[in-house]
């Protein structure tokens, strides 16, 4: 997703600069073209040679070799991220001060500027700094909020530079078009658990990878994303609100609460079809034989199909046979706008294959990652529904 994209990374004089070396390395590894722009004081923390080696490009910090460096770098970059950004530098940019190559380039850059502050908690919370942050946000600058943790001064609080994963996620976000801007997307993922007793349960092998991938891409496309997740093993997407549930009934209640405000609803969760008709309040003792009577769980997707109004409703069908036929029948029976049909082998795996089915067509697909699959699915939703 970053292959060939032009990323300009601005580095200011903070101890968190060491993390940016890993960022540059990861961006380069993902195929991006990376140029690094440093303030004079940043060079006291990490020398240019480090970033030149990692980026494969010359590092910029003054105008000695190019009197128009601020203009040329601003025109070259598709994304400009400043990380770490000291409170000094963010205040200069907020006030329109261009006293070095980095701040001057920020003033010359016409795209979406990403700023990731890192500072002592008291400094960051200073009213003057908060006022400058507000000014930047009002101008469309994206502030990647710092994280909570132990800081270089050995105090604990908000001020740590955002993780490399979050920084890369925001870079990708800045590169994507925003056809889903203003849309609310509700996604379920993971497996539900139906308890036999306090420690034993019925569940499945869902990792949540597909649902979390859909959440990442929907956010990149501009949507406001809500995720209702059961048990998952996949890495959670950053910058997305996730509500955790355990049982099918808990998921049902949470989804019904969020459903009226949603524009697109993607029901990817591997919901248990059955639950014990009785749950023991105490841990059952081991015995030769245990007979558990099961009853059907609520069909959340079918219930949503009956009450939907403006919502685009998308379901998933996991089948071991007659994949397309069974998925089509499910789409009609549950009043879905689109269904993704997958063979059982896709559960818990990294790659993803199957069929995307609407009333008009059946599209077979196969991708090496579920992130690629998520991009394909959402692009088809946007195309099919004219968003």
Report how far residue 362's alpha carbon sits from residue 374's, in angstroms, rounded to the nearest whole number.
Answer: 17
Query: DSSP assignment of 81-122, as one string?
Result: EEEEE-HHHHHHHHHT---SHHHHHHHH--S-EEEEE---HH
Report how far residue 113's alpha carbon sits from residue 171's, in angstroms, rounded to the nearest whole number.
Answer: 10
Q: How many residues does the structure list for the chain? A: 387
Task: Enter the tokens of residue 57.
Answer: 């490009």
Among residues 306, 182, 168, the alpha carbon closest in space to that of 237 is found at 168
Q: How far is CA 58 from CA 27, 65, 229, 273, 383, in A?
A: 16, 11, 45, 58, 42
Angle of helix 17-29 relative to helix 48-55, nearest 10 degrees, comes to: 20
Would residue 98 be called left, alpha or beta, if left means φ above 0 and alpha means ψ between -120 and 50 degrees? beta
Please, which residues bridge with residue 314 across strands?
A: 266, 338
Among residues 275, 326, 325, 337, the alpha carbon closest in space to that of 301 is found at 337
Report how far residue 241's alpha carbon sits from residue 224's, in angstroms, rounded to the nearest whole number.
Answer: 9
Q: 71, 143, 153, 382: which is the annotated catalytic residue?
A: 153
Sequence-distant (6+) residues with CB within 8 A of 116 are 81, 82, 83, 84, 85, 143, 144, 146, 161, 162, 167, 170
Active site residue 153: yes
Residues catalogued as catalytic: 153
């Amino acid at each position: 997703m970053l292959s060939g994209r032009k990323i300009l990374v601005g580095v200011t004089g903070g101890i968190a600069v060491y993390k940016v070396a890993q960022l540059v390395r990861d961006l380069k590894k993902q195929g991006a073209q990376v140029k690094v722009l440093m303030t004079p004081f940043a060079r006291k923390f990490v020398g240019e040679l480090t970033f030149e080696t990692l980026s494969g490009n010359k590092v910029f910090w003054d105008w000695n070799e190019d009197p128009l460096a601020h203009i040329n770098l601003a025109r070259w970059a598709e994304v400009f991220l400043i990380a770490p950004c000291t409170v000094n530098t963010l205040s200069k940019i907020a006030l329109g001060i261009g006293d070095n190559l980095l701040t001057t380039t920020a003033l010359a850059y016409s795209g979406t500027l990403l700023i990731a502050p890192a500072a002592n908690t008291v400094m960051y919370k200073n009213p003057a700094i908060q006022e400058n942050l507000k000014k930047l946000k009002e101008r469309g600058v994206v502030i990647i909020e710092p994280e909570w943790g132990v800081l270089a001064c050995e105090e604990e609080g908000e001020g740590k530079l955002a993780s490399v994963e979050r920084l890369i996620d925001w870079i990708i976000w800045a590169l994507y078009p925003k056809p889903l801007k203003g849309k609310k997307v509700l996604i379920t993922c993971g497996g539900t658990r139906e308890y036999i007793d306090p420690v034993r349960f019925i569940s499945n092998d869902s990792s949540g990878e597909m649902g979390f991938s859909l959440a990442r891409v929907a956010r990149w496309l501009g949507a406001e994303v809500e995720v209702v997740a059961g048990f998952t093993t996949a890495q959670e997407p950053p910058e997305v609100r996730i509500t955790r549930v355990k049982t099918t009934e808990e998921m049902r209640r949470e989804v019904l609460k969020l459903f009226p405000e949603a524009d697109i609803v993607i029901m990817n969760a591997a919901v248990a079809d059955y639950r014990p008709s009785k749950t023991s309040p105490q841990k059952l003792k081991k015995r030769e034989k245990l007979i558990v009577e099961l009853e059907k769980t609520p069909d959340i997707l079918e219930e949503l199909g009956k009450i939907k109004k403006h919502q685009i409703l998308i379901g998933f069908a996991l089948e071991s046979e007659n994949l397309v036929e069974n998925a089509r029948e499910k789409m009609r029976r549950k009043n879905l706008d689109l269904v993704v049909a997958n063979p059982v082998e896709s559960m818990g795996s990294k790659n993803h294959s199957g069929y995307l089915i609407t009333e008009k067509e059946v599209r077979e697909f196969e991708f090496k990652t579920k992130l690629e699959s998520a991009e394909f699915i959402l692009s088809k939703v946007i195309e099919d529904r004219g968003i």
